Chain A
Amino acid sequence: MIQARISKRFPPGPESAGFSLEIQLQAGPGVTALFGPSGAGKTLTLDAIAGFTRPDTGRILLDDQILFDAAARVNLRPQERHCGYVFQNYALFPHMTLRENLLFAADRQPRLERHRRVNEMLERFHLSDVSGRRPHEVSGGQKQRCSIARALIGSPKLLLLDEPVRGLDAPLRAELYDLLRNIRADFKIPILLVTHDLEECFELAEEMLIVREGRVVQSGPPRKIQEQPANVEVARLMGISNLFEAEITALDPGRNTSRVRFQNYEIAGRYFPGHLLGDRVWLCVRAEDLRVARHNGSRPELNQVPAKLLRISDRPQSVRLEFAGDISVELSRQEYERQKENKDWLVEFPPSALKVL
C-alpha cells in the first residue's frame, strides 16, 4: 500500500510559468494509472515517491514505512526506498550486458543467491538467449523486459512505470500488457503506471487517477470515470468528443424526462437529478453512442437533427464522421457501408446516451 500526500511549488522563472504540484493518492496491490496530459506532474509524482525530488510539504508512506515526512524531517534516500522504477527510456546501463544490468541490481542479495536470482529473472522474462548482449544490441521489447526485470529483481515493495508503451508498436504493446498482468498477479505489490494513453488505462488499470495541472481531478475505475466524468476537462481527457454548451429547458422527474437545448437543436433526455431548469450545462455524448440516418426531407423523428457532413476518417475498427457544429459520430464499418450513399444526414441522440456536467 502506497499513500502519498505531497505538494511542491516551482516559482515562475524568466522562461517558465510557475507550477505547483498537489497530489494525494493511495494505491493498494494492482495497477493504478496516473493519467493526464504531458506536463501535468505525473512523472514528478513518481520522482517524489522514488526520492529524486523533494516535496515541500506532505508525507509518503509505503506499507508501514515512512519514506518522506516534511514535518518530521524524514527524507529517505532513493537507495533506501525499495521502489522499483522503470524509466521512460529504460535507462539500461549501455556499457553493461543485460546480465550485468541485472547483477548490478541484485547487488544487495547474498552472493550465492545473486546468480540464481539473475538466471531466474532472465529465464522468466525470456532474456536468457540475449543475456550476453548490450542494450543497443537487443530489440525494443527485450530492452523493455530487461528494464522491468531489473526493477523487480530486488523485490521492491512498489513498482513505478513511466510511460512503458511509449515508442512500442502494437504487437509489443500487447506483449507488455500480458507481462504486466502476470507481474500484477505474481508480485502482489502496488504498481503505479504513468501514461497518457487511454487504451493502456482500460487494458491494465483497476484504478485510475486523472492528473491535470498538478492535481488529481478525479479517481476511480476507468469505466466508471468514463461513464461519469467529474467535469468537462475530464470528459475531454477520457476521449469523449461531443461536448456542447447547453441549457436545460425542461425537467420532469415524474416521467423521467428532460429537454436540452444546444446550438440550434432541442433534444429530449432522461431526467437529470441535481440540476435545475435553465441551468447552463455541458452536454456530453460519446461518439460511439450517436446514430445516423438518411434525411429524406420528411420530418425528423424524435432526437434526430439534420447535420451537414464535413469529413469522413477511417479508424482501425470504425469510421468516424464529423458533422458541422463539432458533432462526431463513430460508426462500425458495416453500419457505415449501409449508410454511405446518404446525401443528407440526420444525427440521432439516443436519450439514454445524454449526460450533462
Chain B
Amino acid sequence: MAINWFPLWLSLRVAALATLISLALGLWIAQLLANRKFPGKEVLDAVVTLPLVLPPTVLGYYLLVSLGRSSPIGRFYEWVFGTSLVFTWQAAVVASTLHAIPLLVKSARAAFETVDRSYEKAARNLGASDWRVFWRVTLPLSRRAVIAASVLAFARALGDFGATLMIAGDIPGKTQTAAIAIYDAVEGGDTLVARVLVLVLSAVAMAIVYGANRLQQRQVTG
C-alpha cells in the first residue's frame, strides 16, 4: 500500500514557515525585553511565555475566538484575502508560530543579555545606530544561541497537535499535519501508516535535538 506523505510535507512546510515568522517576531520582542525599559515589560515576557505552559487546547480556543469569522481580526483577514483564516493550513502556521515563539524569545533574550555590554557601548560610541548595533554586534555575538533556539522552535512547531487541530481542523490533503494524521491512523486502525509516520517524525525530531545540542555545546566551549 502507498503511504500518503502529504501530512509530513505539510508539517515540514508549516513548521518552517512558523519558525521564520517566530524568528522575526521573537528576535524583535527579545531585543525589546533585553535592551529597553518600559512599563509592562515583565507582563509582556509573561504573555509571550504563556503558550509554553498553557494546554494546547486552551491556546487553540483563544485562537479560534480571536481569529474566527466573527472576530475583528478574522473579518479583516477575510476582507483582505477573500477567504476565512480558520480551517486552512495558514491557520496551522499561526498555531505553530504561537507555540514556537516562547522558546525563541526566552533563549534570545538570555543570549542578548549575556552579550558583554561594552561591545554595544563601543558600537554606539563609534556612531552606529541602534539597528546597526543589533545586526552587526548583538545578533552575531549571540548567533549560536539563536540558531539553537530556532532549531528547537522548529521541532516544537513540527509537533504541535492540539492548537492546530482546534483552529485548522483535520481536513485530509488540506490541513492534516503529520501529528494529526498519526492520531487519525491510530483511531482508524491503520497501524502501518501510524508506525511509519511515528518513526519518521521521531527520527526528524531526534536529528534536530541532537543538532541543537551540538550547537549549544560548541557555544559553551567557544
* Contact surface of A with B, Cβ cutoff 8 Å: 50, 52, 77-79, 81, 83-85, 87-89, 91-95, 104-105, 107-108, 150-151, 154
Among B94-102, B115-123, B161-169, B203-211, the stretch that binds chain A is B115-123
Q: B141 at interface (Cβ–Cβ under 8 A)?
A: yes
Set B122, B132, B136, B137: member contacting A85, Cβ < 8 A? B122
18 contacts between A and B (CB under 8 A): A52-B121, A52-B125, A77-B124, A79-B124, A79-B127, A84-B125, A87-B118, A89-B116, A89-B118, A93-B119, A93-B122, A93-B137, A94-B141, A104-B126, A104-B136, A105-B127, A107-B127, A154-B127
Q: Measured between alpha carbons, how far is A276 from B220 in the docked complex, in Å?
A: 68
Which residues of chain A are within 8 angstroms of B137 by Cβ–Cβ distance?
93
Which residues of chain A are within 8 angstroms of B141 by Cβ–Cβ distance?
93-95
Which residues of chain B are within 8 angstroms of A88 by Cβ–Cβ distance?
118
* Contact surface of B with A, Cβ cutoff 8 Å: 116, 118-119, 121-129, 132, 136-137, 140-141
Shortest A119–chain B CB gap in Å is 18
Question: In the complex the two chains form, is A104's CB within 8 Å of B128's CB?
Answer: yes
Given contacts A91-B118, A93-B119, A95-B140, contact A85 B125 (CB under 8 A): yes
Question: In the complex the two chains form, is B125's CB within 8 Å of A104's CB?
Answer: no
Residue of B nearest to A105 (CB): B126
Residue of B nearest to A52 (CB): B121
Q: Measured between alpha carbons, how far is A84 from B140 in the docked complex, in Å?
A: 24
Question: In the complex the two chains form, is A83's CB within 8 Å of B125's CB?
Answer: yes
Given contacts A91-B118, A91-B119, contact A50 B128 (CB under 8 A): no
Q: Measured between alpha carbons, how far is A93 from B132 in the docked complex, in Å?
A: 13
Q: Measured between alpha carbons, how far is A290 from B136 in the docked complex, in Å?
A: 59
Which residues of chain B are within 8 angstroms of A105 by Cβ–Cβ distance?
126-127
Shortest B103–chain A CB gap in Å is 24
Question: In the complex the two chains form, is B126's CB within 8 Å of A154's CB?
Answer: yes
Interface centre among B122, B126, B141 (most CB of A within 10 A): B126
Shortest A45–chain B CB gap in Å is 15
Which residues of chain A are within 8 angstroms of B122 by Cβ–Cβ distance?
85, 87, 91-93, 150
Which residues of chain B are within 8 angstroms of A77 by Cβ–Cβ distance?
124
Which residues of chain B are within 8 angstroms of A84 by Cβ–Cβ distance?
125
Question: In the complex the two chains form, is A91's CB within 8 Å of B121's CB?
Answer: yes
Which residues of chain A are within 8 angstroms of B116 by Cβ–Cβ distance?
89, 91
Residue of B nearest to A150 (CB): B126
Shortest A351–chain B CB gap in Å is 52
* Interface contacts beyond A79-B127, A93-B136, A104-B123: sample of 15 additional A-B pairs, CB < 8 Å, sorted by A: A50-B125, A77-B124, A84-B125, A85-B125, A87-B121, A91-B116, A91-B118, A91-B119, A91-B121, A95-B140, A107-B127, A107-B128, A107-B132, A151-B126, A154-B127
Which residues of chain A are within 8 angstroms of B125 by Cβ–Cβ distance?
50, 52, 78-79, 81, 83-85, 151
